[in-house]
Amino acid sequence: MLGEILDDLLTSSSTGPCITATRHFPARPAVSAPFPVGLDPRLAAALRARGIEQLYEHQARVWDLVEKGRHVVVVTPTASGKTLCYNLPVLQALLREPDTRVLYLFPTKALAQDQLAELEQLATELPELRMFTYDGDTPQDARRAVRARANLVLTNPDMLHSGILPHHTKWAVLFQNLRYIVIDELHAYRGVFGSHLANVLRRLRRVCLHYGSAPQFIMASATIANPRELASRLTGESIDEVAESGAPTGDKLFVCYNPPVVNRELGIRAPYLGEAARIAVRFLREKIATIVFAQSRLATEVLLGAIKGGVADRTGDAGIVRGYRGGYLPTRRRAVERGLRAGEVLGVVSTNALELGVDIGHLDAAVLAGYPGTIASLWQQAGRAGRRSDPSVAVFVATSAPLDQFMVSHPDYLFGSPPEHARINPENPHILVNHLKCAAFELPFDAAARFGALEVGGSLRALEEAGLLHQAGGRWHWTSESYPADHISLRTVTSDNFLVIDTTARDAQRAKRRQIIAEVDWK
């Protein structure tokens, strides 16, 4: 059925002329490897119970490197089994030594919850493994239980920064026995967020050293240009990279679609949201599981309404299509994820919130309503369809923006460009000084004044002059009554909030009318 729809899309008089380029990516068979010789029989049995009889080659390669004590980053496409790359050695270590502790870091709470469910399924046949998420939604009484009992903690950088490291004395057992630190979705840590995380990891390693542990890093990333460099900059360690995927892939067709011109004199094209909705409805009416990516929350709601209307006209059930974006309650988002995995939800319209690796089951089609801004994001979104070895399609619907028009007019550039580099600058003074405050709050700096590989004596003396540190006995101690981590956001350079006021009211009636600006693009 998917093939028939694609044939119609390519040859129809209404859509065929709008297709500026197609690219076929042929299927590729799996390259497998046997279970490692040292794999615990209980873990091998748990894998077989889930239908896994062999590993992919890249999974076996990561296992070998981890067993040798190397820090590793695995960089393979979407749905290639990266999760098992780190779950396997982690579970092996917990089975060998039950006192071992492991820390998982994910950029969002949703990913941590998703991974916990994956771990619990894999560990069903294993002895009791105490695995818990620890984030802002964790109740206070449950937090005490996590600190006391967990041998695997799943959290996010924000919680590590403000909820764990400043209270490391309550987490002494974790830090004394910390064997592995797993960082998933490594490509998400770029720019300001990544620069903050690099400093949080410096603080983490400093606390680990205090408690006598030297954890090993296992990282996973979508395809970017510089995964090893990024991993090394984040962790301060020498990194081994595994980039050759052994996972199978199905046939994929990528289609570039430029909405038709409706006014040639003015160069106006049909609204791209309407065209994206029309293509998505065509798939959904034939029961083809589809994800539609929008570039804003508003666009998500507009697309959702249009697609629901188009689907309901034919099937009478618009509930098979759901929205997914920030601003929805967590319970609503989890319900959508469960519905997609169970096949109860056939279509989803999302912002880039689903670009990251939350498990949403098997999808056959992806419609990208607008260029997401980077080549890496484009392929990450397109890769959400065809997450197993079945055929799939991705349709990129261009907006009227110059960049979108360039992409659909120059497909060789689109298909031939490598993904972008992920850049960070942990030494940015605005970011670094804030984390020096946090680090001093956690543990005094000694006379060497080292923070990771950095010599920070000058910065510490500046903080002393500001009255925040006091030097005594060759050590710098935190003296302020403030709690520094509470005032530092990892997602921005500054935690300042802005009040936006509409000053355009020109008469008394308009001045009295209250207006709320929901979202502002500040550039």
Predicted TM-score (pTM) of the model is 0.90
Please give, one letter per residue, the 3-state secondary structure of 259-315: CCEEECCCCEECCHHHHHHHHHHHHHHCCCCEEEECCCHHHHHHHHHHHHHHHHHHH
Instruction: Quick: pLDDT tens for 510-520.
Output: 555 555 555 55
Q: Which CATH number fits domain 32-242: 3.40.50.300, 3.30.420.40, 3.40.91.50, 3.40.50.1820?
A: 3.40.50.300
Distances (CA, A) of 255 to 223, 230, 258: 21, 31, 10
pLDDT of 314 strictly over 70: no
Spans of all domains in the chain: 2-27+249-399, 32-242, 427-523
pLDDT mean over 181-204: 97
Predicted local distance difference test score (pLDDT) of residue 326: 81
**Band of pLDDT at residue 113, cut at 50, 70 and 90:** confident
Question: Which pLDDT value is given to residue 41?
Answer: 94
Distance (Å, whole) CA 70 – CA 304: 46
CA–centroid distance for 38 within its chain = 32
Question: Are the folds of 2-27+249-399 and 32-242 the same?
Answer: yes
Instruction: Tell me: pLDDT of 522 over 80.
Output: no
How many helices (H) does the chain have, and how many strands (E)? 19, 22
Average pLDDT over residues 431-459: 95
CATH superfamily, domain at 2-27+249-399: P-loop containing nucleotide triphosphate hydrolases (3.40.50.300)
pLDDT digits (tens, 9 = 90+) for 392-420: 999 999 999 999 999 999 999 999 999 99
Q: Estimate to the nearest angstrom the gap between the alpha carbon of 215 and the chain centroid.
A: 23
Say how far apart CA 89 and CA 438 lie, in whole Å.
32
Write out the two tokens for 426: 């942990």
Question: Residue 6 has what pLDDT?
Answer: 85
Distance of CA 133 to the CA centre of its chain: 16
How many residues comprise the chain? 523
